Structure 1
Amino acid sequence: MTLKAGYPFWLIKDGLPFTFPKLDHDAETEVAIIGAGISGALVRYHLINAGINCITIDARTIGLGSTSASTSLLQYEIDVPLYKLSEMIGREKAERAYRLCSDAIDKIGAIAQKRGVDYFEPKKSLYYAAYKKDVAWLKKEYDARKQAGFKVRYLEADELEAEYGFKGFGAILSEQGAQTNAYMLAHCLLQHKHKKGKANDIFDRTTVTDIKHSKNGVVLKTEGGNTIKAKKLVYATGYEVVNFIDKKVVNLLSTYAVVSEQYNERQFWKDEVLIWNTADPYLYMRTTSDNRVLIGGRDEDFHDPALRDKLIKKKTKQLTNDINKMFPELKFKPEFSWTGTFGSTKDGLPYIGPYDKLPNSYFALGFGGNGITFSLIAAEIITDMILGKENKDVELFSFDR
């Protein structure tokens, strides 16, 4: 599956910072990880730190799937509002899911600091009502978050315009949030204790053509005719999981993103908060470290890559109009535009953990707008399970929920 098209900003900006070989020999390991984007990189980081030997493989040059197309907003909010998720799965579980996402933001920040990289910026998050009809449930959502202990403030329409310079019908301002560069963060994580030379443990451009699961382990066959024998296998393949499991767990959609030309001076909105709204599909905005503005949204149901890609020009124009209407003083001019495929689930939650039909396997499927924070959660849960430790959150994200 082609997961993106156009010119993802991060890929143009950062190029190919590290290179990896193709797998050209048979190998054995404790854990094999399929997928070396941000999900696979976070899983590997946790497993390696737990003393577990891993081999990581990717069918593409590393980072060129969904990770390079990510807009890299880090939010504790799930695509399903907290009040609504509470109605679906119960308040305790819903608050736990939100809390895990909030904690994941802090943990990603700590990892970035420990790795000595600057691909993490704490940001407040502003969630505004796009329509007057959304105000009632947005206030309900504010109450749910307040009761759950999150640091939030409700802004009436006049306060929103006075403080942030655009019109809306009200908003929730959250203290917790951040932004990153998922592409470079993944690459930097993969360098952690990376073995090179004959002991190399990361391979790209290595397509798996067959996987055999048994009670004793897993055997992977590659396009080049080599095999990898592992005791456990982690699927960190994201939206391509439809190739491996026979259960309908995700609806695929296409999102569009545009990054502006570089501004001479940073004169953006207050605190450069993350901005998103209650529309369906919703718009989302952020800034970049090199004086640009990113806007994304205008999602469409995914049918095939060709139809998705044909819309880039149209969506670029629409998104440009969207942000210029909100912030006419920006005089936003697009420079980079792209589209990427992502997935949504019935409850907005990811699928993490074992899948009964595929023994000795674990899935790290961070679907939805919170893919990166979900991937951190998946890395912790899967590491615990491989170590034989109990993790109370397995049930929350299981395939059987």
Structure 2
Amino acid sequence: MDLKSGYPFWAVSNGLMQAFPPLASDHRCDVAVLGGGITGALIADELAQHGFDVAVLEQRDIGWGSTAASTALLQYEIDTHMVDLAKRYGEDDAALAYLACAGAIDQLREVAAPWRDVGFARNKSLYYASRHRDVRPMEEEHALRVRHGLEVELLSADRVREDYGFEAAAALLSTQAAQVDPYRLTHRLLQRLHRQGTAVFDRTRVIDLHTTSRGVTLRTVTGFSVRAAHLVVAAGYASQHWLRQNVARNRSSYAVISDPLPDEQLGFLRDTLLWETARPYLYARSTADGRLLLGGEDDAVDIPAKRDARVEKKARTLLKRLHHLFPEWEVTPAFSWAGTFAETTDGLPFFGPHTQWGPRVHFAMAYGGNGITYSMLGAGLLRALIERRKHPLWPLFSFERLER
């Protein structure tokens, strides 16, 4: 299935950075990773750097699926507020999830550090109240985060107006956020792994899995097989193809990016991610080359042709919403696009085995608005499971929580 529409900026600006060979013979390894996007790359890197013989298989070109369409806002905030997560799973688990995501930003910085060209930058995050009725929940959210040691400041309407130049009833300001070029980071990680001896196969479509007590065999459409002790399914929303149980719903999100803008026009967006309480929410950030990137207008459409037809209209809506906040801004759009993603009912990801396949098949479903942050956490969680070690996030991020 086509995962994106229009002209995703990362794919346009970077092009096809490198083609890896397709699988052309049978292969053996410790861990096979099915999916060559940012999630698969982070997991493969974590495993390979800790001594596992890894093979990555991608049915398209590397990074050419949802990764190329991602707007890559790296945040600790989960789509489900900490207050609501606490009501559902308890305050301790809610705090565990939020604090882990905050720590993942630092982990991603370390992962991206070897390359100056992946667009990684630390940011602030400004989360503003779209409506006056959102202020009270925001105050409760602020109090709970502060109680658990997260550095976040509650801003009044006057403070938002004075410091940021737009009208909002209130806002939460945090410093634990970042941004990255996800497509380029994916390629840099897998290029390094390939040089180090890790097998990376693109244009390799897996059509069948067979599990035993000792391992997993993957069969490709061309008739070759990969035998591995463990399999990690990191194929984005397409991972649901391998499960009979419906664990998430597909959504499409839309984005538009401007021509390069002068620093004085970007203003606070040079180092701050902007997003809102309304659902679906508008979000904005800048890029390393001074462009303004807007995203949002999510809907339930996941049929490529219908999604394609909506891209330009959605882009115009995003620009109108920006103009409502900043009437004086003149923004010329350069590219617009859409991508299909998946989201869970509680905003949390799924990592680990499912009873349908047994303990040798691990899923990496980093679903939600902060999928890259989840992927970083999932890399460590899955390594712990494969090494038969306990991990504090396992109960909360596993399929077992569906039974709570």
Give the Cα–Cα distance (whole angstroms) in 2 for the partners of residues 192 and 364 of structure 1: 22
Partner Cα separation in structure 1 for residue 264 and residue 240 of structure 2? 42
Letter in 1 for 2:271: E
Q: Which amino acid in the other structure matches residue 333 of structure 2?
A: P
- Tell me which residue corresponds to 1:248: 246
1:387 corresponds to? 387
- Residues paired across the two proteins, number: 399
Q: Is the 8 A contact 1:288 1:294 kept in 2?
A: yes
CA drift of 1:200 comes to 6.3
88-97 vs 341-350, which deviates more?
A: 341-350
Residue 145 (structure 1) shift = 1.1
**In 1: Cα distance, 2:112 partner to 2:119 partner:** 7
Q: Distance in 2 between matches of 1:75 and 1:200?
A: 30
SS in 2 for 1:155: strand
Shift of 1:195: 4.3
In the superposition, relative to structure 1, how do residues 11 and 125 fare at CA in structure 2: closer, same or farther (>3 Å)?
A: same
Q: Is the 8 A contact 2:73 2:178 kept in 1?
A: yes
Moved over 3 A (4+): 114-118
Cα distance, 1:82 vs. partner?
Answer: 0.5
* d(CA) in 2 for partners of 1:192, 1:80: 35
The answer to whether the 8 A contact 2:119-2:288 is kept is no
1:283–1:295: 8 Å Cα contact kept in structure 2? yes
Of stretches 122-131 and 215-224 in structure 1, the one that deviates more from structure 2 is 215-224
Q: What's the secondary structure of 2:388's corresponding residue?
A: coil
Match of 1:217 in 2: 215
Deviation of 1:216 (Å):
1.8
* Matched residue type, 2:80: V
Aligned to 2:16: 16
For residues 117-171 of structure 1, the C-alpha deviation after alignment (integer angstroms, 9 at most, x for no partner) is 5531000000000011111111111111111111111111111011001111110
**1:330 corresponds to which letter in structure 2?**
W
Residue in structure 1 matched with residue 344 of structure 2 by the alignment: 345
Deviation at residue 262 of structure 1 after TM alignment: 1.6
In the TM superposition, 1:147-296 aligns within 5 A as 147-195=147-195, 201-270=199-268, 272-296=271-295
Partner of 2:78, secondary structure, is: coil
CA separation in 1, counterparts of 2:264 and 2:365? 36
Structure-1 separation of matches of 2:24 and 2:311: 38
Instruction: Decide whether the 8 Å contact of 2:127 with 2:172 is kept in 1.
Output: yes
Question: Do 2:258 and 2:334's aligned partners in 1 also have CA atoms closer than 8 Å?
Answer: yes
Q: CA deviation at 1:350?
A: 0.1
Deviation at 1:113, TM superposition (A): 1.2
The aligned residue for residue 31 of structure 2 is: 31
**Contact in 2 for aligned 1:165/1:269 (Cα 8 Å):** no
Distance in 1 separating the partners of 2:61 and 2:97: 33
CA contact (8 A) 1:195 1:201 kept: no
- Paired position in structure 2 for 1:310: 309
Equivalent position of 1:134 in the other structure = 134
Q: Tell me, in whole angstroms, the C-alpha distance in 2 between the residues paired with 1:342 and 1:320.
A: 22
Residues of 2 paired with 1:93 and 1:200: CA distance?
A: 36
In the alignment, the residues of structure 2 paired with residue 8 and residue 266 of structure 1 have an alpha-carbon distance, to the nearest angstrom, of 26
> Counterpart of 1:328 in structure 2: which amino acid?
P
Aligned amino acid, residue 50 of structure 1:
H
Alignment CA distance shift 1:116-1:286 (3 Å): closer
Counterpart AA for 1:255: S
Partner secondary structure for residue 297 of structure 1: strand
* 8 Å contact kept, 1:320–1:333: no
SS across alignment from 2:328: helix
8 Å contact from structure 2 (residues 218, 227) kept in 1: yes
Task: Label 1:266 to 1:213 Cα distance change in 2 as closer, same or farther (>3 A).
Answer: farther
Q: Percent identity between the aligned chains?
A: 41
Match of 1:44 in 2: 44
Q: Secondary structure at the match of 1:268?
A: helix
Are 1:93 and 2:90 counterparts? no
- TM superposition shift of 1:190: 0.8
CA–CA distance in structure 2, aligned partners of residues 40 and 132 of structure 1: 41
> What is the RMSD computed on CA atoms of the aligned residues?
1.4
- Find the residue that maps to 1:229 and give its secondary structure: strand
Check conservation: 1:152, 1:173, Cα contact below 8 A.
Answer: yes
Structure 2: distance between partners of 1:310 and 1:216: 47
Deviations 1:65-119 (A, max 9, x none): 0000000100000000001111110000000000111000000001111456553
**Residues 75, 10 of structure 1: alpha-carbon distance in 2 compared, 3 angstrom cutoff:** same
CA–CA distance in 1 between the matches of 2:195 and 2:225?
Answer: 19
> Alpha-carbon deviations, 1:284-311, whole Å to 9, x = none?
1000111110110011113422111111
Cα distance in 2 between the residues matched to 1:172 and 1:20? 44
Native 8 Å contact 2:232 2:363 kept in 1: yes
Give, in angstroms, the shift of residue 264 of structure 1: 4.3
1:75 match? 75
> Which segments of 5 or more consecutive residues in structure 1 lack a partner in the other structure?
none
- Paired with 1:288 and 1:119, the residues of 2 have a C-alpha distance of 7
The answer as to whether partners of 2:48 and 2:198 remain within 8 angstroms in 1 is no
- Asked if the contact 1:59–1:208 (Cα under 8 Å) also holds between the matched residues in 2, the reply is yes
Aligned-pair CA distance for 1:192: 2.4
Distance 1:317 1:260 in 2: 12
Amino acid at match of 2:148: A
Matched to 2:173, the amino acid is L
Secondary structure of residue in 2 paired with 1:202: strand
Equivalence for 1:112: 112
Kept in 1, the 8 Å contact 2:23–2:224? The answer is: yes
